[in-house]
Copies of this chain bind each other. A is one copy, B any other.
Amino acid sequence: MEKIIELSYALDTFYLLMSAALVMWMAAGFAMLEAGLVRAKNTTEILTKNVVLFAIACIMYMLVGYNIMYPAEAVNSFWPGISFLLGEDNVAADVIASGGDTVYSNMADFFFQVVFVATAMSIVSGAVAERMKLWAFLAFAVVMTGFIYPLQGYWKWGGGFLDELGFYDFAGSGVVHLCGASAALAGVVLLGARKGKYGKDGSIQPIPGCNMPMATLGTFILWMGWFGFNGGSELIISNISEANTVAMVFVNTNAAAAGGVVSALITAHILFGKADLSMTLNGALAGLVAITADPASPSPLLATIIGIIAGIIVVFAIIGLDKIKVDDPVGAISVHGVVGTWGLIAVCFSNTDATFGAQLTGIATIFTFVFATSFGVWYLLKVIIGIRVSEEHEYQGVDFSECGMEAYPEFTDSSKG
């Protein structure tokens, strides 16, 4: 019996670690997606942001965030207690004494959680691309990953008031994706659109991405990583029922992405008359974001339909945000915010534990809190150090002003601008 507890513990820990490695891999996905969708002259900078934000997330969440989100003791369901030291791992004798109730390594849990924070922050970098100062962005990342994300995460996954209320969010359509999108929206509102994006006559200028294979690769990386993101969020796999659930999560995650691809392709084709690759990629991501709120309850057919609807929504959301001049170069706010909201609502169609009331409360809480606090932080940064590069630097490209290094020195003619 002892050996069985040991084996269960080992299997669940391994499952969590492999899942987390896949989520870590999503950082590469965001980096490639965003690098593919911006112009060549802003590529080095977006890559730098993506690498550094991941590092900042790891450090801040270790020092502060994890302790806020999963406090040993909470003051109440709104204010977590804070214990600033990373706990020791489980002692083998205690695990065995628990009779199997302690299921995996604390360190594995920490690692799984830390890569989620980075995902939330990665969402922001795409939306503010091509015009934000690097260091202002990194300063925001410190606050976001150390404080804003963990506090709202505590409310749901740490056992706080949203959890008590019955808000349902399996792997983070709200806690991760809507959270990231809300922070991004606050930044974009304060930052304004890229020069030349919106004409004075109301025209919208498309600014094509410079490297579509990179963007496609990024999408595939994210799709793959999502099996860790959603698949790992069951946290336990070591018995028949949990193993079945994890398998269902894999199937549904994939099905929703597939649905999103097809519907976004068709929707864009109806609207534009062409097979729009960037919309199709966003359709895949939309399907993934939507199913994240509950990939365990729906049938694969329903998961596909949730993805199909997500793929339609994302196309109209991207068009709609452009109409109101919210300039989001990669469509992150639409994919993660608008569709994240859809995913949280869709839970009610398959999961009898979820209520519209609780879902709407969760959505409203996350959006309001993250948007407001992020707006405050962005605003402070704007006042103190400025968040937008100069017009000259924007024209030259932020690679030159921020990084002093071109991404493709031999492929582009610097005179093209």
Contact = CB atoms under 8 A, between A and B. Distances in A.
Contacts of A89: 244, 247-248
Contacts of A284: 51, 55
A58 B111 contact: no
Nearest to A25: B224
Contact of A405 (B134, B217, B250, B277): B277
Contacts of A5: 240
A90 interface: yes
Contacts of A40: 410-411
A227 to B, nearest CB: 5
Interface string A327-341: 000000000000000
B14 A51 contact: no
B51 A216 contact: yes
Interface in A36-57: 36, 39-40, 43-45, 47-48, 50-52, 54-56
A3 interface: yes
Interface string A269-293: 0001111111011001000000000
Given A58-B254, A409-B208, A134 B239 contact: no
A387 interface: no
Contacts of A44: 212, 277
A11 B17 contact: no
Nearest to A241: B92
Interface in A225-241: 227, 231, 237-241
Nearest to A416: B410
A191 interface: no
Contacts of A299: 86
A377 interface: no
Contact of A410 (B13, B15, B39, B54): B39
A410 B210 contact: yes
A258 B213 contact: no
Interface string A381-415: 00000000000000000000011111111111000
Contacts of A405: 208, 212, 274, 276-278
Interface of A: 1, 3-11, 13-18, 20-22, 24-25, 27-28, 31-32, 35-36, 39-40, 43-45, 47-48, 50-52, 54-56, 58-59, 62, 86, 89-90, 92, 95-96, 104-108, 110-111, 114, 134-135, 208, 210-214, 216-217, 219-221, 223-224, 227, 231, 237-244, 246-248, 250-251, 254-255, 257-262, 265, 272-278, 280-281, 284, 299-301, 304, 402-412, 416
Given A6-B239, A47-B216, 5 more contacts: A1-B3, A13-B244, A45-B275, A54-B261, A89-B247
7 contacts: A3-B8, A6-B240, A51-B280, A52-B262, A56-B262, A89-B247, A105-B248
